[in-house]
Structures are given as structure tokens and as C-alpha cells.
Amino acid sequence: WDHRTDITYIDAEVGIGEKKETISLSILKPLVHHSRFFPDEFYVPSTCSELLSTIRGEKLTLTLQSEDSTFKSLRVKFSDDDLPAGSPLRTLENLELNIFALALLMECEQLIDCRTNTRHDFNIDAKALLGLSFSHIDKYPRLNEAISELSASDFDWTRDSWTLALEFRGPVKTEFVWSIISSSDGRPWLGESFTFILEPVNTLEEVLTAFKEQVGQTIPLENLENFEEQMERLESILLSRGWSDDPYSRIAQLEVTEKGVCVVVSQLTDDETQLEVDRLDITRDEIEDFASGFDEEFHPLTQYNIQNKDELGKALSMYLEGSYVDESGDDDAD
């Protein structure tokens, strides 16, 4: 038997006068886990009679506050409109809590003001904990639920300073990865990275505008210390890869495969180097339809503005006739 996990804290429905009210026994949970749970600040009635004599008060909002990302310096704050300054519940605001003490306190569905003998249900405002994670949070359902309901729009960007990081990974030239880095610990925000897809039909200006909009949907741009610097870097990289203010153009070449051909889409950089951006595998049975639909709106090559469609069409015809020789010099007729 484990007193920390084997006790159920029920909601007791009691008759008070002509009304029925609910008293939550979850207020006992912190004391079951720690018998001296902040005895000067956390009030629990000594007897059942005292608990049953409490009256229902207004619902409160308890705002969580975090001074850093270590979970060692957490505080709670009541709204000024919820409680008078002299309420004994205000003494909870003086506590500096670690994450586990805070989580236990949040497990209480009601708090009691011993001066007014009033029970208060309360909501949890956990915005300050968005982006922070700790083990065993599932053992504390109320805090877990409050955090899980948060979205990126709830995040307080002013609690740290941030930089934008760009990363061009591997051979893929049609996308790159970006992340928001905390200046205090050097870690990505929420441990996440984001992928930006470079639309091949867009001009350089359109690409930069689309990226700016994507970043701005996550974090206010004024909260990024190096945003303009990184935008200049991105523009330079895209220019070196052949992007310009004209719609992007590419070339296509064939490679023979066991089942048919592979159409290799490449782009030319400023130094005439070819950068592969896509590979389309076409079986022999699909080639005729593929070659006849170059000008159709939804053809796989339409988005790439292929410059050498005529040459590509001739190469596909030669392949079907058995006379095409690929770049390696192997005849595909066999």
C-alpha cells in the first residue's frame, strides 16, 4: 500500500441548508504527501465539522510565476480583484516553491480562506510554464491539464531574449530548418525546430516574405535579436543558389532505372554548379502519359519551370524507342 498513490480524494456532495454543495477532499492531498506542507501558509480545517461549516466563495484564478527554467523558484499570484489584500490566502504568494511542491498545491481543487471560512474553487493560469517540462508531470493531473491546454500564443516571450538560427541540412536544396534559440541556455524554444519549404515558383522576394510571415506567426519579430542579420544571410544563400527576382527556372535530365527512368530536376547556381532539388521515378508504362502532359496545370514538373522541356520530351521518346543513351553511356534498350 502506498499512501501517495492509493488514496482517492472524492468530491463530497453535502446538504447545507436547502442547497447542496460540493466539498473537494483534494485539499488533503498535500498533507498526505508531506505532513508539514507549509503549515503557516497552507490552511486545512482540523475537523470534519470545521470543513462542513465552510461556505462557497467566488472562483479564483491562481497565476503561476517562474523566475528561471530550473523549477526551483516558482511562485503563485492571485488576481488583485479576486481577494482582498488581507486574505490569509495571500500568504501563499510569499512562498518560493519547487515544481513538486507547486504541483501538489495545484492538486487542490479548492482553497479555504480561514478568516472568512470560505471555500474557493480556482483556475490555474500556467502560461509561465509553457516550454518547461519535468518528469512525472502525469502524476499531477490538474497541473498537467493546465499546461497541456496552452498554445504557443500564450507564451511570454519577454521572459528571455531570443535569436533565430538557420540550418541547411544535407543534400536537400528545397527546404531548410529554422529554430528559436534561448539566449540564457542556448536551447531551442520548446525543443522544436521548423522546416521552411522553398516554393520553386516563387521569386526571391516572395520567398523572403513567406519566411518572414512564418517566423512571425510563432514569435513577434521584435523579440528576435538577430532577425535582420539572419534575413540578410538567407538572402545571400538563396542568391548563391540561383534564386532571383525572376520566377525560378530549372533543368531536367534522365537517368535510366530498372523499372523505367528517373527525371532529375536541378538548378544552376551562380558558378554554374548543378544543385539537385528533386527526383521523379517514372515507370516505363507511365512515361507516355508523363511526357504528353508537360503543359497541364497539375503536372509534377509544372512547379519547377523546367527550361528544357523539349529536350526532355525528346529524351523520353528516344527511351521508349530504345535509342536513348544515359549519361553513364549505358543504352537502356536492354
Nearest-angstrom CA–CA distance, 88 and 114: 7
Residue 305 exposure: Cα atoms within 13 Å on the Cβ side = 13
Whether 180 and 290 map to the same domain: the answer is: no
pLDDT band for position 172 (50/70/90)? low
Whether 55 and 131 map to the same domain: the answer is: yes
With contact defined as beta carbons under 8 Å apart, do 41 and 90 qualify? no
Whether 76 and 148 map to the same domain: the answer is: yes
Whether 260 and 231 map to the same domain: the answer is: no
Q: How many domains does the chain have?
A: 3
Out of 112, 137, 154, pick the residue that ends a domain.
154
Residue 159 exposure: Cα atoms within 13 Å on the Cβ side = 16
Whether residue 288 is contained in a domain is answered as: yes
Q: Which helix (H) or strand (E) holds 11?
A: strand 11-16
34 vs 323, which has greater pLDDT?
Answer: 34
Out of 207, 240, 273, pick the residue that ends a domain.
240
The yes-or-no verdict on residue 275 having pLDDT over 60 is yes
With contact defined as beta carbons under 8 Å apart, do 116 and 57 qualify? yes
Torsion sign (Cα): 205, 207, 211, 214 = positive
Whether residue 326 is contained in a domain is answered as: no
Whether residue 246 is contained in a domain is answered as: no
Whether residue 330 is contained in a domain is answered as: no
The yes-or-no verdict on residue 253 having pLDDT over 60 is yes
Q: What average pLDDT is seen over the chain?
A: 86
Whether 82 and 147 map to the same domain: the answer is: yes
Determine the pLDDT at residue 246.
67
Determine the pLDDT at residue 270.
63
Whether residue 245 is contained in a domain is answered as: no
Whether 15 and 150 map to the same domain: the answer is: yes
DSSP 250: B
The yes-or-no verdict on residue 316 having pLDDT over 80 is yes
Whether 139 and 167 map to the same domain: the answer is: no
| Of 132, 83, 139, residue with least CA distance to 106 | 139
Which amino acid would we find at residue 245? D
Task: For residues 177-190, give the mean pLDDT.
Answer: 90
Which region among 25-34, 36-45, 196-205, 286-295 has the lowest average model confidence (pLDDT)? Answer: 196-205
The yes-or-no verdict on residue 332 having pLDDT over 70 is no
Whether 145 and 169 map to the same domain: the answer is: no
| Grid coordinates of 259 | 523499372
Q: How far is CA 46 from the centre of its chain?
A: 45
SS3 282: strand
DSSP 325: B
Whether 61 and 146 map to the same domain: the answer is: yes
Determine the pLDDT at residue 19.
79
256 vs 239, which has greater pLDDT?
Answer: 256
The yes-or-no verdict on residue 261 having pLDDT over 70 is yes
What would the pLDDT profile of 100-129 be if each residue is shown by its tens digit?
Answer: 999 999 999 999 999 999 999 999 999 888
With contact defined as beta carbons under 8 Å apart, do 243 and 204 qualify? yes
What percentage of the chain carries pLDDT values higher than 70?
90
Whether 95 and 176 map to the same domain: the answer is: no
Whether residue 334 is contained in a domain is answered as: no
Which amino acid would we find at residue 163? T
Task: For residues 165-189, give the mean pLDDT.
Answer: 85
The yes-or-no verdict on residue 301 having pLDDT over 90 is no
Residues 6 or more apart from 229 whose CB is under 8 A from it? none
Whether residue 36 is contained in a domain is answered as: yes
Whether residue 177 is contained in a domain is answered as: yes
The yes-or-no verdict on residue 334 having pLDDT over 50 is no
With contact defined as beta carbons under 8 Å apart, do 281 and 287 qualify? no
The yes-or-no verdict on residue 328 having pLDDT over 60 is no
What would the pLDDT profile of 11-59 be if each residue is shown by its tens digit?
Answer: 888 876 677 888 999 999 999 999 899 999 999 999 988 998 899 999 9
* Segments forming the whole domain that contains residue 286: 251-321
Whether 200 and 272 map to the same domain: the answer is: no
Question: Across the chain, which distance is largest between two alpha carbons, in Å?
Answer: 98
The yes-or-no verdict on residue 133 having pLDDT over 80 is no
Which amino acid would we find at residue 270? D
49 vs 1, which has greater pLDDT?
Answer: 49
Nearest-angstrom CA–CA distance, 319 and 290: 13
SS3 305: coil
Out of 132, 154, 176, pick the residue that ends a domain.
154
Angle at the Cα of 128 from the Cα atoms of 123 and 134, rounded to 5 degrees:
95
Which region among 221-230, 305-314, 325-334 has the lowest average model confidence (pLDDT)? Answer: 325-334
Whether 77 and 187 map to the same domain: the answer is: no
The yes-or-no verdict on residue 160 having pLDDT over 90 is no
SS3 56: strand
